[in-house]
Amino acid sequence: MLPKKAFKTGSTAPDPPAPGVLRLISSRFCPYAHRTRLVLAAKGIDYETVNVCLYKKPEWFFSINPLAKVPTLQHDGKVVYESLVCNEYLDRVFPGRKLLPEEPLEKARIGMLQAVWDAKCQPNLMKVSMSEGEERQKVFDALKEGLSFLEKHLATQSGKSFFGGDQPGILDYSIWPWFELIDLLLTDDDVKLQEVEFPELLAWRAAMFDRPEVQTCAFDMSVFAKYVATMRAGNPDPDIGLEDSN
Amino acid sequence: MLPKKAFKTGSTAPDPPAPGVLRLISSRFCPYAHRTRLVLAAKGIDYETVNVCLYKKPEWFFSINPLAKVPTLQHDGKVVYESLVCNEYLDRVFPGRKLLPEEPLEKARIGMLQAVWDAKCQPNLMKVSMSEGEERQKVFDALKEGLSFLEKHLATQSGKSFFGGDQPGILDYSIWPWFELIDLLLTDDDVKLQEVEFPELLAWRAAMFDRPEVQTCAFDMSVFAKYVATMRAGNPDPDIGLEDSN
């Protein structure tokens, strides 16, 4: 039985996964690892989890992934890392619902939306929670500019709730971890996403919350908030909320 | 005939490309646009070029690409942007030599090498040229750590000169623009890549220089150096080296 607690600097590496077993090297509160957990759940793929501490990385992790970042997959001697690379790999090698379109322009469109998210939305979403006053308002406006692009895209997909169409696809899962955390990131009334400005995006968020794969993987918000408190105190605890026995 | 000079803020948008014509919205000195020029040349795809000024972006560019970044492709009403997205799109929709492997693990491997390049090599390569003394040595060591990973990868491909195998593939083209500029970026003897440390990578660089598609697209180094001088003087001139009549 693998421990839930994070492997840290100085730890002994766990044995490699047994033949045929897919292992996710993860971190409980990492939104990038969350992307891959969502895809694993959406496709109904069995896997085991090894958690690592991202603040005190185990030495052995660097010999598996030179960037020592999560998510990293191990499977029968093969290693795959980088969240979007992992997700495309999983989608292509495992059976089940296809999450990434095959048609080249459709696939390019997902890449372009992802690029807008990466450039305009994600960094500003993080910055809103760390800035104040006028600066915060400026960052929030920049965030909304990026989100408007996603809003417009959803509006062109008449009657389809998700970026993937009738069901979530690879982009829905790749941006979801930050949307799931949005109430932690946008805490005050002056930096809320308003229904009148983002009707499509807020309907998408509600529809995502209803999905079983999203519920299965959901961050426990009360535990997440405690984790953020340890982070802000300069001593992030990746094991917070776990029983001693784990 | 489209002008070679860059469209700037306040310019009138050029007419859209004629039916069937592929247009690259580019910038002469941008390494990201260079990635896509290399793929266009490698696959023998005909296209026309519209240059834009990245320091004084034309307003009309934002209505084509919300990020207003190059490269951007226009083709029969379709728009594709982000260099790696453009390159995969071109590889998939145009005939000719395939640049991206279809096999999922091989494709993932390209994505992982790209991630190491993005995280460890490219930023440090740029930083070396902007830092001094001890700081520069530290950055150079970090750069070499990333490059060692590429070096090792080439060494595992017995007898194959390129990341793409016997011929360059999508990764070769995506990292080449910075390698082409390496003598501008690593100007002093104490920050040179030594043959003894990087035999595979330096052999790869020599083999890349010999490729016709690389020669066709090559930056004119004397002009590029003049461009860098205008940049350093705080007044980047995207049209430097062009005749007045263009």
Do A83 and A35 belong to one domain? Answer: yes
Residue B66 CB neighbour total at 10 angstroms: 19
Do A84 and A126 belong to one domain? Answer: no
Q: Is residue A215 part of a domain?
A: no
pLDDT for position A185: 87
A115 closest CB neighbour out of B82, B92, B108: B82
Do A163 and A231 belong to one domain? Answer: no
Q: Is residue A113 part of a domain?
A: yes
CB of A163 within 8 A of CB of A153? yes
Contact state of B81 with A107 under an 8 Å Cβ cutoff: no
Q: Which residue of A has its CA nearest to B116?
A: A67
Number of domains in chain B: 2
Do B115 and B203 belong to one domain? Answer: yes
- Cα distance from B85 to chain A (closest Cα, Å)? 6
What gap in Å lies between CA A128 and CA A40, rounded to an integer?
30
Supply the DSSP string of B129-166, one letter for each residue. TT--HHHHHHHHHHHHHHHHHHHHHHHHSTT--BTTBS
pLDDT value at A209 more than 50 = yes
Contact state of B116 with A66 under an 8 Å Cβ cutoff: yes
pLDDT grade, residue A189 (50/70/90)?
confident
B149 closest CB neighbour out of A66, A105, A107: A66
Contact state of B107 with A92 under an 8 Å Cβ cutoff: yes
Which residue type sits at B134?
E
Q: How confident is the model over B52-83, as pLDDT tens digits?
A: 999 999 999 999 999 999 999 999 999 999 99
Q: Is residue A51 part of a domain?
A: yes
Q: Tokens in use for A59?
A: 């030495």
The continuous run of DSSP H or E covering B90 comes out as helix B83-93
What gap in Å lies between CA B152 and CA A107, rounded to an integer?
31
Contact state of A85 with B112 under an 8 Å Cβ cutoff: yes
Do B2 and B24 belong to one domain? Answer: yes
Q: Is residue A19 part of a domain?
A: yes
A-interface mutation test, from B88, B112, B145, B151, most A Cβ less than 10 A away: B112
A-interface mutation test, from B39, B63, B67, most A Cβ less than 10 A away: B67
Do A112 and A206 belong to one domain? Answer: yes
Mean pLDDT of A123-143: 92
Residue B88 CB neighbour total at 10 angstroms: 21
Indicate which residue of B30, B53, B86, B217 is catalytic.
B30
pLDDT value at A246 more than 60 = no
- Cα–Cα–Cα angle for A211, A215, A216, nearest 5°? 115
Close Cβ partners of B222 (under 8 Å, ≥ 6 residues apart): none
Q: Tokens in use for B101?
A: 């492997």
Q: Which residue of A has its CA nearest to B92?
A: A104
Higher pLDDT, B187 or A9: A9
Q: Is residue A72 part of a domain?
A: yes
Phi, psi of A150 (to 5 degrees): -65, -40
CB of B82 within 8 A of CB of B35? no
Residue among B59, B3, B58, B60 at smallest CA distance from B28: B3
What gap in Å lies between CA B163 and CA B173, rounded to an integer?
10
Q: Tell me the count of A-B CB pairs closer than 8 A.
A: 68
Q: Which residue of B has its CA nearest to A63?
A: B149
Contact state of A111 with B82 under an 8 Å Cβ cutoff: yes
What gap in Å lies between CA A126 and CA A122, rounded to an integer?
6
What gap in Å lies between CA B176 and CA B205, rounded to an integer?
8
Do B36 and B2 belong to one domain? Answer: yes
- Scored b (16 or more CB within 10 A) or e, A64-89 reads bbbbbbbbbbbbeeebbbbbbbbbbb
CB of B168 within 8 A of CB of B101? no
pLDDT for position B244: 59
Q: Is residue B215 part of a domain?
A: no
pLDDT grade, residue A15 (50/70/90)?
very high
The predicted complex's ipTM stands at: 0.94
**pLDDT-wise least confident of A184-198, B52-66, B114-128:** A184-198
Residue B34: give the domain boundaries. Answer: 1-99+220-246
Q: Is residue A21 part of a domain?
A: yes
- The sign one gets for the Cα dihedral A158, A160, A165, A166 is negative
Mean per-residue pLDDT of chain B? 95
Q: How confident is the model over A41-95, as pLDDT tens digits?
A: 999 999 999 999 999 999 999 999 999 999 999 999 999 999 999 999 999 999 9
Catalytic, A217? Answer no
Q: How far is CA B124 from CA B129, B149, B164, B186, in A?
A: 9, 14, 24, 11
Do A75 and A119 belong to one domain? Answer: no
Do A205 and A227 belong to one domain? Answer: no
pLDDT value at B180 more than 60 = yes
CATH of the domain at A80: 3.40.30.10
A67 closest CB neighbour out of B84, B105, B119: B119
Supply the DSSP symbol for B77.
T
A93 alpha-carbon distance from chain centroid = 20
User: What is the crossing angle of helices A170-180 and A83-93, to 10°?
Assistant: 140
Do B43 and B12 belong to one domain? Answer: yes
How many residues appear in chain A?
Answer: 246
Do A163 and A128 belong to one domain? Answer: yes
A104 closest CB neighbour out of B82, B92, B120: B92
What gap in Å lies between CA A106 and CA A97, rounded to an integer?
17
The continuous run of DSSP H or E covering A22 comes out as strand A22-26
Helix, strand, coil: what percent of chain A each, to 5?
Answer: 50, 10, 40
B-interface mutation test, from A39, A112, A120, A170, most B Cβ less than 10 A away: A112
Q: Is residue B183 part of a domain?
A: yes
| Count of H-run helices and E-run strands, chain B | 11, 4
Contact state of B66 with A104 under an 8 Å Cβ cutoff: no
Q: Tokens in use for B89?
A: 């799109």
Do A72 and A44 belong to one domain? Answer: yes
